[in-house]
A = this chain, B = another copy of it.
């Protein structure tokens, strides 16, 4: 190791320590142990801090996101717009340096912190890269060849989500993924010996990874450097285990007390002194360290310039591919998507929305080449595979190739969602999708929440969306799931009632670049509604069945809308006129102007919600509820609906009670509120 590398590493260490000290909060331990590894990674990375969105830059994911002070130090040195003043504001309100990495900060590729997610995102980033390379690279034009680097700690290693994604990464032979395992033998409960004594190397070998081990991660600079070289030569993803000492250089090094609390003042003094820094000063960066890092940035800028020139030439030789790439880099959807989406009339036959979804996906597959995804081993049930889809597989399997866009995720719902986040984070306008039964979206919500927090363009296809799935019974029938998902900020949760609404759901979901969407579909057939249209459903909610002078309204979603219309017709025969409101996506509806919303839910109209899931949340729109606040039962779908009186008659009966109850009282719209 040269003197300048040594000085840079010391600088990184102390910047991290100073941030945590200034905030009086944070995690100094991992940055002290990892500064050398991270410095070597950044030395190896080809990136241009002036151009954080460059498609072919190397990616970096800090999966142990609590070590973020390390990352801020590196981003500052690398030349990203993160000043020393910003570092001083670490963990302060509205600073550019929050307590965990957030992708809004330039240079941060993915938001991390929840353990295990980052390494899965890295798998997604590496998968996206392989796909871009397979689609666009041509002889003499290596449009895509970037690496994805990742650091993960013991916590990530223990998380099941990481196991899922890493097993799949091994299967997929994502050879440009280089992950460093910070093996410091410490987690929050103390020595990892209390809970984590498995043979990690052997496990990753079992997954089909290349596994290298640098046993003296605190001193073996050459070993780390060589390991990266070796990783680049492998045809597998590589795990470089680096045995480190947490809090290296602190008086408390090697203990868990250095994990999540600032170093004491005297400890900082001895550390700075030992590293040759003035202990009376903080946030010090020697000029030569800036210059050194400037040289990396200059190389990166030169590399990007070369790449851009190549792209120009490429576009003239391959105009179609060039145009596609340009469009995708610009973040524009293909033109005129509306026109390819199926539309329906009431004369069309009843079809399950999962089947209607298959129809839409089949249209989109060719039209939207940035759409990539698959199912967690439920392809035949989720119906997510376009007929002419090619599987994303290592060509050596003979089952597909990397230009394929259908991903066989295996029974790995959480890993699937986290990988989808990584694919979306890659850029190139990627829209990723993952499918499972709606009840098992719950397995994945740790990642779904991060889709929403980060604004990843991910679609979750969630079929078998109610007790209507029938015989599989209560272990598979969602009850709480929709309420849960609707409570996550920045998440669209569609539950279309028919073909037009299914097309609308996809249309809005594709257009909402920074809002992920859950698309809930029925197992069972649903009638095509006379009152639906793509335009109306695109508002998130509308009157699908109106009456003259209605005395009440039923608001429903998905499979219940048709039943509600049936109830309205039964009631009309008895002279009770009601409206039926279809509300396929609360998120989209809530964003409409208030007068539109009040036109759907006006004062004076008692409203009953009807959805065969938890009623929790429906009071927001409705005064009364008909739903399922208990677990379901096993039986044929129609029998289960009848058992709970989820029928036209059952709805009509309850509406009459509601009408009687509110007769002569002042009924305020639930949307007419003070706050």
Contact = CB atoms under 8 A, between A and B. Distances in A.
B471 A479 contact: no
Contact of A475 (B65, B202, B208, B439): B65
Residue with the greatest number of chain B CB neighbours at <10 A, chosen from A161, A472, A476 = A472
Interface string A158-194: 1111111001101100000000000000011100111
A652 interface: no
Contacts of A660: 674
Nearest to A623: B673
A668 B670 contact: no
B206 A473 contact: no
A367 interface: no
Interface in A272-315: none
Nearest to A673: B624
Contact of A194 (B26, B391, B629): B391
B163 A160 contact: yes
A323 interface: no
Contacts of A92: 634-636, 639
B658 A113 contact: no
Given A195-B168, A439-B114, A665-B666, A675 B624 contact: yes
Contacts of A192: 410
Interface string A137-160: 000000000000000001110111
B411 A154 contact: yes
A102 interface: yes
Contact of A197 (B94, B171, B489): B171
Contacts of A158: 164, 167, 377, 410-412
A589 interface: no
A305 B453 CA distance: 59
Contacts of A199: 205-206, 208
A592 interface: no
A409 B449 CA distance: 24
A344 interface: no
A616 interface: yes
Given A188-B379, A480-B449, A654-B675, A114 B440 contact: yes
Nearest to A160: B160
A201 B196 CA distance: 19
A262 to B, nearest CB: 11
A470 B91 CA distance: 9
A206 B195 contact: no
Given A159-B160, A674-B661, A486 B616 contact: yes
A453 B196 CA distance: 30
Interface residues of A, number: 130
Contacts of A206: 198-203, 206
Interface string A617-635: 1111001111001110111
Given A195-B377, A442-B445, A616-B620, A102 B473 contact: yes
A486 B487 CA distance: 12
Contacts of A65: 475
Contact of A196 (B380, B381, B410): B410
Interface string A581-602: 0000000000000000000000
A79 interface: no
A187 B408 CA distance: 11
A10 interface: no
A193 B470 CA distance: 30
Contacts of A66: 472
A516 interface: no
Given A160-B159, A399-B194, A665-B668, A188 B378 contact: yes
Contacts of A193: 397, 399
A29 to B, nearest CB: 14
A260 to B, nearest CB: 8
A304 to B, nearest CB: 30
A462 to B, nearest CB: 14
A167 B189 contact: no
Nearest to A378: B188
A653 to B, nearest CB: 10
Contacts of A23: 471
Interface in A545-564: none
Contacts of A629: 489
Given A195-B410, A473-B98, A479-B487, A93 B381 contact: no
A619 B483 contact: no
A112 interface: yes
Interface in A338-358: none
A113 B476 contact: yes
B409 A195 contact: yes
A26 B471 contact: yes
A202 B200 CA distance: 11
A164 B170 contact: no
B484 A480 contact: yes
A20 to B, nearest CB: 10
A512 interface: no
Contacts of A410: 158, 187, 189, 192, 194-196
A194 B412 contact: no
A266 to B, nearest CB: 23
A483 B487 contact: yes
The 9 closest A-B pairs by CB, nearest first: A160-B160, A619-B619, A93-B635, A661-B674, A98-B634, A113-B475, A195-B410, A480-B487, A484-B484
11 contacts: A25-B471, A99-B471, A188-B378, A189-B408, A194-B393, A195-B410, A197-B208, A442-B449, A479-B487, A489-B631, A619-B619
Given A93-B636, A159-B443, 19 more contacts: A92-B639, A93-B639, A100-B475, A102-B475, A115-B411, A155-B411, A158-B410, A168-B195, A170-B197, A189-B380, A189-B410, A195-B409, A414-B443, A480-B487, A483-B483, A487-B616, A658-B674, A658-B675, A661-B674
